[in-house]
Amino acid sequence: MVNPLRGMKDTVGEFSEKYTYFIENCSRIAKNYGFNFIETPILEETALFKRSVGESSDIVGKEMYQFIDKGKNDVCMRPEGTAGVVRAFITQKYDRAGGIKRFFYHGPMFRYERPQKGRLRQFHQFGVETFGQPSVKEDAMIILMLKEMFDFFNIGYRLQLNSLGCPECMPPYRKNLVKFLDETEGLCEDCLRRKVTNPIRVLDCKNEHCHVLLENAPILLENLCSTCKDDFNELKSILDDFGVEYEIDTKLVRGLDYYNKTAFEFVSDGIGAQNAIAGGGRYDRLVEFLDGRPTAGVGFAMGIERLMDLVKMPETKKESYYIGALSEDSLLKVMKLVVQMRKSNVIHTQYISKSVKAHMKAADKVNAKYFICIGDDELKNKTYVIKNLETKEEKSVELRD
């Protein structure tokens, strides 16, 4: 028997119902906020992710599904969505046109991580990206939109916020941090490596011993330049104004290298160790890094698998019909009726004549709301009975209606 690869799952059964329900409703909300659907290829040049997500990140350093294709191109299955959307933004020359563009996307992402609950090698994200809006009001808006999505599904969360500064305040802070790290003994191997490649990632170390050693590390939030400080204060005050609760996490640095200023994560308690359900922030220099014209960017992505256990489907039955044929002669009539009614309704049927009892069983299985059976008598009398399976009410209807 051929099994799926480790850390990869089929989208099927209850998961698939919830998945489509989730995508439909998040897409609806994103459209209401002015975002347009975008889909970029799953496979991109490896260089795209190295230059955006960053060589020092775990994603690029350890987790890429990277290979040489038949044309000898170095390619990679996308580990996240932002890099591809930024690449598409530049490919379409939107950076030259100026103005504001907003996109949403969903689909599979690939990271060769150690699989565990909430951590897969192929997982799905729903994400949004805004280009050309440097105002922190956009950061607030996308956080409010994400909150609206979680509220719609009744998903509880905690919002964690930080600011990662800008090219003015980050370099002096980094210098300060490296000095502190140089004077600190006993850091783990990962931290020593990150001290050289991207020192702020040290703050994110999961090692308990390093946590203690880093307790007195300099804090970026206390060393922001005046613009970053003002922006962060404005973001907090907008969130306060809208009644959005948040926690300040001065060690939240995110696992991807492209961020500046706002960085945030939504976490959910009670779903296990992998509790980050969404993450995002600002990346004002990424378009430029990828050879586009300087354009501000901000966005987020949710991990759909981590959310599925928290999403409850609405109880009401779908407005669907089950139509069954009771005789060979009525089968063609049923097929014609089904094709006609499918223009505006969800219709279940079986292309075989059976007894009423057998059809009823099938209708129950597909959770139909209305039940109709057509046999020789119905054809002769030109009427049939339509039964509401919820209320058990029956109504006689003329065949032509």
Q: Which residues bind ligand HAM (CB under 6 A)?
A: 80-82, 111, 113, 118-120, 123, 125, 127, 129, 255-256, 276-281, 299-301, 303, 305-306
Give the residue with the Cβ less far from ligand HAM, 65 or 123.
123
In angstroms, the CA 160 to CA 246 distance is 6
Least distance to ligand HAM from the beta carbon of 282, Å?
A: 8
Sign of CA dihedral 28, 30, 34, 35: negative
Give the residue with the Cβ less far from ligand HAM, 84 or 375.
84
Give the residue with the Cβ less far from ligand HAM, 143 or 362.
143
DSSP of 45-82, one letter per residue?
A: EHHHHHHHT-TTSHHHHH--EEEE-TT--EEEE-S-SH
Least distance to ligand HAM from the beta carbon of 90, Å?
A: 16
Least distance to ligand HAM from the beta carbon of 258, Å?
A: 8
Distances (CA, A) of 272 to 59, 114, 275, 307: 21, 15, 6, 12
Least distance to ligand HAM from the beta carbon of 245, Å?
A: 19
Strand order in the sheet with 74-77: 43-45, 74-77, 65-68
Question: In this chain, which residue has its C-beta nearest to ligand HAM?
Answer: 303
Cα 81–86–91 angle (5° rounding)? 125
In angstroms, the CA 254 to CA 57 distance is 10
Least distance to ligand HAM from the beta carbon of 82, Å?
A: 4
Q: Is 207 exposed, middle or buried (0-12, 13-18, 19+ CB in 10 A)?
A: middle
> How many of the other CB atoms lie within 10 Å of CB of 159?
19
Give the residue with the Cβ less far from ligand HAM, 199 or 303.
303
Least distance to ligand HAM from the beta carbon of 237, Å?
A: 22
Give the residue with the Cβ less far from ligand HAM, 92 or 116.
116
Give the residue with the Cβ less far from ligand HAM, 117 or 365.
117
